[in-house]
Amino acid sequence: MRLHHIGKVVSNLEEAVEYYKSTFGFSKLDEPVIDPIQKVEVCFVEMGLGRDLTIELIKPVSEDSPVSKFLSQGGGLHHLCFEVDDIHEAIKTLRAKGSLIFGEPVPGKGHKDQLTVWLYTSEKELVELVEKEKK
């Protein structure tokens, strides 16, 4: 398991990308994509520090998006995402450690359709898991 990215909810993707580029030297990885399941538009920015640091910028595209309420309360740091070799094994492990899993793994548009799942840890942290791309 390794940290894949940090998720941040924003009201304007273009402004957020520019902020991270001009302030911290991040680069935009790809063009924004819309995830119809989460009802969000996402864009990834990255900074190389000997290891990659990636931030997922997340903007709701409808009022019923799971992050709309979070944005109405100010937005900001939303979740940590961890990449795992086998998402089903990771779910079993984290469930045994007291995590609450939200639904079944689904393809994540922002993750090139790799399987993703959401959970709350026993410490009440929102975590996303993304299964490592099979080569």
Record the pTM.
Answer: 0.90
pLDDT reported for residue 111: 85
Residue 128 pLDDT exceeds 90:
yes
User: Domain map of the chain by residue range?
Assistant: 2-131
Confidence category of residue 49, pLDDT binned at 50, 70, 90: low
Q: What angle do CA 133, 111, 12 make, to 5 degrees?
A: 160
Look over the chain and give the mean of its residue pLDDT values, rounded to a whole number. 93
Q: What is the mean pLDDT of residues 121-128?
A: 94
Instruction: Categorize the per-residue pLDDT at 87 as very low, low, confident or very high, splitting at 50, 70 and 90.
Output: very high
Query: What is the mean pLDDT of the segment spanning 90-113?
Result: 93
Look at residue 113 in the predicted model and tell me its pLDDT.
86
Residue 40 tokens read as: 């969000």
Is 53's pLDDT higher than 60? yes
Architecture of domain 2-131: Roll (3.10)
The predicted pLDDT at position 129 comes to 97
Tell me, what's the pLDDT at 50?
A: 53
pLDDT bracket for residue 51 (50, 70, 90): low
- Chain length of the chain: 135
Rg of the Cα atoms in the chain: 15
Going by C-alpha positions, the residue among 118, 122, 52 that lies closest to residue 90 is 118
The tokens describing 68, both together, are: 């709309």
Looking only at Cα atoms, what is the longest distance across the chain? 43
Confidence of residue 29 (pLDDT cuts 50, 70, 90): confident
69: left (phi over 0), alpha (psi -120 to 50) or beta: alpha
Residue 17 vs residues 76, 91, 96: alpha-carbon distances, Å: 14, 32, 38
Asked if residues 54 and 46 have their Cβ atoms less than 8 Å apart, the reply is: yes
